[in-house]
């Protein structure tokens, strides 16, 4: 794909996302309908659903041959990586959205034949849109971001999902102890933003494709490594334990996880 086409797609996606943000902010002034999915800690609201439908409609109108994988199930069943695949998380961090009205994100990613092309993470309440990909670089709104420092585990803050920490899965307590400290923000999108800007240096959580699709593209563009928790390549259509980290932090953590009994 030539750069001009890429820039045109990018311009369109940003326009949809700004409209999606307005939709979300408007709906936040009305009464939410909140339902439980797999458990009482796994929520979905009418806003998740309406925003996913909005984004899928925009994508399908613009690029009708695309396949779309959406968190709330309004997209397509996708079994292979061929062609244009869009991955949509209409509200990432729905618990934060419901309980805090803050600290959540809208995320969109475009993969073509399995390759990450464009990623978007929109911190709605701060009105900060992180966007880009390998050909364009990564931007916070209109400002291009530099690579974050390649910080070692001992010198940075790490974000570990609370359930993994609580049950000491994968020897993560030792990794936490060797870091500068643990933070938990409750939204994969917000944690990814903090990785892109160097505020944390590692993020480990059980993630589904829509949780990591955009962050993988943006993170790898800025020199971060994304992998399974044991350092293997991510399958963009599968769920699992994911690690996003600086190269040096990944180097420090993998042997700790390897000691997991």
Burial 239-258 (b: 16+ CB within 10 A, else e): eebbbbbbebbbebbbebbe
- Token pair recorded at residue 219: 């993170």
Displacement of CA 204 from its chain's centroid (Å): 12
CB 117 to its own copies: min, Å: 30
Tell me the window of 25-33, 67-75, 101-109, 137-145 that interacts with its own copies (CB under 8 A): 101-109
CA separation (Å) from 144 to 14, 115, 131, 195, 196?
15, 22, 9, 15, 11
Residue with tokens 């990944």: 250
Tell me the sheet residues that pair with 69.
87
Q: Give the C-alpha separation, 17 to 29, whole Å.
A: 19
211 is in an annotated binding site: yes
Of the two residues 183 and 208, which places its CB atom closer to its own copies in the complex? 183
Q: Shortest Cβ distance from residue 157 to its own copies (Å)?
A: 5
Instruction: Work out which of 8, 22, 35, 100 binds its own copies, going by CB under 8 A.
Output: 100
Q: Binding string to its own copies for residues 64 to 93, with x set by CB under 8 A, is what?
A: ------------------------------
Tell me if 31 contacts its own copies by CB under 8 A. Answer: no
96 binds its own copies (CB under 8 A): yes
Q: Considering only the stretches 10-18, 73-81, 155-163, 233-241, report the one whose residues sit in contact with its own copies under the rule CB under 8 A.
A: 155-163
89 marked ligand binding residue: yes
- The first and second tokens of residue 208, run together, are 């589904």
Contact 121, 165 (CB under 8 A): no
3-state secondary structure of 130: strand
Q: Least distance to its own copies from the beta carbon of 173, Å?
A: 6
User: Using CB under 8 A, which of 8, 83, 99, 235 touches its own copies?
Assistant: 99
253 annotated ligand binder: no
Q: Tokens 């890429």 identify what position? A: 6
Residues 110-149 that bind its own copies (CB under 8 A): none
Sole binder of its own copies in the list 75, 133, 156, 219 (CB under 8 A): 156
| Residue entry with tokens 């044991």 | 230
| Residues near its own copies (CB under 8 A) | 40-41, 95-96, 99-103, 155-157, 162, 165-166, 173, 176-177, 180-186, 194, 199-200
């Amino acid at each position: 794909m030539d750069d001009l086409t890429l820039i045109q797609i990018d311009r369109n996606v940003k326009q949809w996302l700004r409209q999606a943000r307005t939709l979300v902010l408007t709906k936040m002034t009305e009464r939410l309908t909140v339902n439980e999915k797999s458990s009482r800690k796994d929520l979905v609201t009418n806003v998740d659903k309406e925003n996913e439908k909005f984004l899928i409609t925009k994508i399908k109108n613009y690029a009708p041959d695309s396949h779309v994988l959406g968190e709330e199930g309004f997209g397509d069943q996708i079994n292979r990586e061929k062609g244009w695949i869009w991955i949509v998380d209409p509200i990432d961090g729905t618990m934060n959205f419901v309980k805090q009205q803050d600290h959540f994100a809208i995320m969109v990613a475009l993969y073509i034949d399995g390759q990450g092309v464009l990623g978007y993470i929109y911190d709605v309440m701060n009105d900060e849109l992180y966007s880009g990909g390998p050909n364009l670089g990564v931007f916070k709104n209109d400002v291009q971001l530099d690579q974050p420092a390649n910080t070692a585990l001992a010198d940075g803050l790490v974000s570990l999902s609370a359930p993994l920490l609580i049950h000491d899965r994968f020897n993560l307590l030792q990794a936490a102890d060797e870091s500068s400290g643990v933070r938990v923000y409750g939204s994969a999108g917000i944690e990814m933003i903090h990785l892109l800007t160097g505020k944390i240096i590692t993020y480990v959580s059980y993630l589904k494709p829509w949780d990591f699709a955009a962050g993988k593209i943006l993170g790898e563009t800025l020199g971060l490594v994304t992998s399974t928790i044991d350092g293997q390549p991510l399958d963009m259509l599968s769920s699992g334990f994911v690690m996003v980290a600086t190269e040096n932090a990944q180097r420090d953590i993998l042997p700790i996880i390897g000691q997991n009994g």
